[in-house]
Structure 1
Amino acid sequence: MGSHNFEIHDKGASEHDAQAEGHITPFNVYVKVACALFALTFLTVGAHAIHEHLQPFAALIAFAIAAVKAYLVMAFFMHLKYETKMNRAIFISGFLFLLLLFTICTLDIYTRLIQTSVL
């Protein structure tokens, strides 16, 4: 068995706190965001109840409400609102690639609908 030398370095309290603390969001912000999410959920349920009257726009309205809810969750609960611009850009680029993937898949589906069967 070899002997191991472990050195323990005591970081200064201010240096450690600056790295670990980050941004502290007040509790009332979380309550307001949660209330907004509940309100948007009820709005989604209400839109579904009258979806026959909104027929051409029903899906668009549902996606818009879902996008607002996703923004609220990402901005406040995932703390992206307080991140650096580089982290935001990296996060948004993931969604742009997802949008590109959905676009390619949708175009593929529509080209298959246009084709007639040869069988």
Structure 2
Amino acid sequence: MTHTIVPAKVYVGVWAVLIALTFTTVAVSKLELGEYNFIAAMTIAVAKATLVVMFFMHLKQSSSMVRLFVVAGLFWLAIMFVFVLSDYLSRGWQPIGQWW
């Protein structure tokens, strides 16, 4: 298996993008987007996580077998989220009374 040496410029560039996305997250949190604040924050978080996995964890240079396991793990995580959220969203919640 050959190892690819990534130039330092790539890491500095990815770091700069991560810092920019962090500032974007802070800026978006100050906006009043209502329900879309969560969607915007999660979109930025997924972009940041993707950059970290692809470059700092060297998934971009990994074999197709490693990529397959990453995709399978993410697929399994999605299944778990679907089951947990389907249980959570299907419950009938009782209103909380005045208890103090």
TM-score (norm 1): 0.74
Question: How many matched pairs?
Answer: 95
Alignment correspondent of 2:98: none
Q: Is it true that 1:30 corresponds to 2:48 in the alignment?
A: no
Instruction: Give the unaligned 5+ runs of structure 1.
Output: 1-18
Compute the TM-score of the two structures, normalised by the length of structure 2. 0.87
Q: Can you give the 5+ residue segments of structure 2 that lack an aligned partner in the other structure? A: 95-100
Which stretches of structure 1, 4 residues or more, deviate above 6 A after TM superposition?
Answer: none
Matches within 5 A, 1:34-113: 34-50=15-31, 52=32, 54-113=33-92
Once the two structures are superposed, residues 36-91 of structure 1 have per-residue CA deviations (whole angstroms, 9 ceiling, x without a partner) of 000000000001011x2x11211111111001000000000000001111210101
Q: With CA pairs under 8 Å and 6+ residues apart, which has the higher RCO, 1 or 2?
A: 2
Q: Which has the larger radius of gyration?
A: 1
Identity of aligned residues (%): 37
